Homo-oligomer: A and B are copies of this chain.
Amino acid sequence: MKLLLKETIDKLSQESSYQSVCHNTLARHPMPSIKNLEKIVDLLRELLFPGYFGNSVIDKESINYYIGVNTERLFELLSKEIFAGLCFACNEKEIKEGKGDSLRHNADTIAVEFIKQLPEIREILVTDVEAAYLGDPAAQNRGEVIFCYPAIRAISSYRIAHCLHEMSIPLIPRIISEMAHSETGIDIHPRATIGKFFTIDHGTGVVIGATTIIGDNVQLYQGVTLGAKSFPLDVDGNPIKGIDRHPIIEDNVIVYAQATILGRVTVGANSVIGGNVWITNDVAPDSKIIQLRPRDLLLTGGGGI
């Protein structure tokens, strides 16, 4: 039986069959490890919300030890993944010239710089927890919000990934945000800019595109898309990258379930966007947008539509 597989094994091993999806750094430097990145996110959750994740019994006396050990572990894992991310962005020439080695030191420095920003990241996450708590009458207390709400997981990962993205780490922030996307159904691009007191209720299906700008105190519901319209092509027919093509949502806006807002439009401060609407133009501040009332029909039979 196994003999029959030999031909397939050889086909699958032929360089021509995989080279078009093969990355430069393959075979020269380690690729990012999704397993390690999962450990990194777990460590960050433990560090940012001590007592909720990981070790279940922590007190004032022991917290310093735990944070010390976890910070060290984080440094080691993160430095390795940042290095892998930096290598991933090199071209073949740079790698041959040994640039990879010089990047190893950079990775250590960047990891330290990132870790130094954790107290600030915790500060803003505390405002997000507050917003989620105040925004949901079903929430009993802040602890429940941290434990259960997918929004807190998604927004934590976003704030971490955004911070790494601001430090120009390639790939790693995107993997972190997709891990949160898979866990929560909330897809926030690390390049997006989001103010404080941000919350998302339920969350499944939310999409926040790369050039989105969100002010303070904004609340989204499940299924909301802050996306792009079709994008201009260059003379070769390739999409022109790097253009601002997602919405600006100003302070104090609420967007209800399944609303779709596309393109570089601005939803003015204090507006309310109703569920299931589809918006591709600017919305003035203090607006209230809702879907047209659906046709009401008598049921005519069959049990279907």
Contacts and interface: CB of A to CB of B under 8 A. Distances in A.
B143 A258 contact: no
A210 B242 CA distance: 38
A26 interface: yes
12 contacts: A27-B59, A34-B147, A68-B68, A137-B228, A137-B231, A222-B225, A231-B304, A233-B303, A258-B258, A272-B304, A289-B297, A291-B294
Contact of A6 (B61, B88, B302): B61
A159 to B, nearest CB: 14
A123 interface: yes
Contacts of A283: 296
Interface of A, secondary structure class, is mixed
A15 B17 CA distance: 31
A33 interface: yes
Contact of A182 (B61, B116, B184, B257): B184
B182 A150 contact: yes
Contacts of A33: 56
B272 A294 contact: no
Contact of A21 (B9, B136, B146, B184): B146
Interface residues of A, number: 153
B9 A67 contact: yes
Contact of A1 (B63, B65, B112, B204): B112
B56 A30 contact: yes
Given A47-B12, A49-B18, A65-B72, A225 B228 contact: no
